[in-house]
């Protein structure tokens, strides 16, 4: 039964990834029309779109930039973070229910070190993964579900880790009409520095976990 759950999880993730590649994403004009039709429910609709996107491999930066374009930096960032966090938790708990117990049996020594890192410092580990764009956002959501990270630490780490990149993407989306301006250049520079600092932080976390093992 546990093996069947893991197989279902793998098939689900692969299917969602393939579908996301085949589906044409709406452009800025289409998203604006959708929001306009929703009227006062526009924020709820957009949060729902972000939640679905976070659980189904729709590129997060595209939605975050659309948020800045549609709602401005402040509200756009808030709506994006809310939706992405909800979607991340949906994927997390699906993976936790389907694949966690089976994956525990297959952990080698190297993976066991990472498992202990997520068990002991789950909030920090989640923050690093969120701030360092190495793996697709949705893949991390499902992957985290089969680790030892606690649900509340994953939720908090996700919400906090989403703030810097989501705000930067919203600012960039808000500045699309003037791309190449000093503001957009500053945003890209901050994004680069944030990535480098997070890479250093993550390296220290892994090094510390290896030494403690």
At residue 23, φ and ψ (nearest 5 deg) are: -85, 135
State the average pLDDT over residues 167-196: 74
- Tell me if 65 sits within 8 A of 173, measured CB to CB: yes
Query: Tokens 């546990």 sit at which residue?
Result: 2
Q: For residue 8, which of 200, 187, 145 has the smallest C-alpha distance?
A: 145
For the chain, domain boundaries:
2-212
Burial of 80 (0-12, 13-18, 19+ CB in 10 A): buried
Two tokens, residue 160: 């906090």
- Answer with the residue of higher pLDDT: 178 or 160: 160
Two tokens, residue 104: 């525990």
Listed range (25-29, 88-92, 195-199) with the worst mean pLDDT: 25-29
Which of 10-14, 102-106, 142-146, 152-156 has the largest mean confidence?
A: 152-156
Distance CA 28, CA 53 (A): 16
Distance CA 48, CA 33 (A): 16
Q: For residue 165, which of 205, 204, 193, 124 has the smallest C-alpha distance?
A: 193
Q: Mind listing the pLDDT tens digit for each residue in 54-85?
A: 888 777 777 877 777 788 778 888 998 999 99
pLDDT reported for residue 53: 82
Q: Mind listing the pLDDT tens digit for each residue in 93-150?
A: 888 877 666 655 555 555 567 777 888 888 988 988 888 877 778 888 888 888 888 8
- Answer with the residue of higher pLDDT: 167 or 85: 85
Q: How confident is the model at residue 178 (pLDDT cuts 50, 70, 90)?
A: low
Two tokens, residue 94: 């699906």
Q: For residue 5, which of 145, 153, 148, 150 has the smallest C-alpha distance?
A: 145
What 8-state DSSP symbol labels residue 115?
H
Two tokens, residue 93: 């708990």
């Amino acid at each position: 039964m546990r093996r069947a759950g893991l197989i279902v999880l793998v098939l689900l993730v692969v299917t969602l990834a393939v579908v996301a590649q085949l589906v044409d994403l709406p452009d800025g004009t289409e998203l604006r029309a959708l929001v306009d039709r929703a009227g006062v429910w526009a924020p709820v609709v957009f949060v729902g779109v972000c939640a679905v996107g976070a659980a189904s491999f729709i590129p997060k930066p595209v939605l975050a930039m659309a948020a800045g374009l549609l709602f401005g930096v402040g509200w756009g960032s808030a709506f994006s973070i809310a939706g992405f966090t909800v979607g991340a938790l949906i994927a997390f708990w699906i993976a936790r229910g389907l694949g966690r117990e089976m994956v525990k049996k297959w952990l080698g020594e190297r993976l066991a070190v990472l498992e202990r890192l997520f068990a002991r410092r789950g909030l920090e580990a989640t923050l690093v993964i969120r701030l360092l764009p190495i793996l697709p956002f949705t893949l991390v959501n499902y992957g985290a579900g089969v680790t030892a990270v606690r649900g509340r630490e994953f939720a908090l780490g996700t919400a906090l880790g989403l703030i810097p990149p989501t705000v930067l993407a919203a600012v960039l989306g808000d500045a699309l009409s003037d791309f190449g301006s000093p503001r957009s250049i500053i945003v890209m520079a901050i994004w680069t520095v944030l990535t480098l600092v997070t890479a250093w932080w993550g390296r220290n976390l892994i090094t510390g976990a290896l030494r403690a093992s």
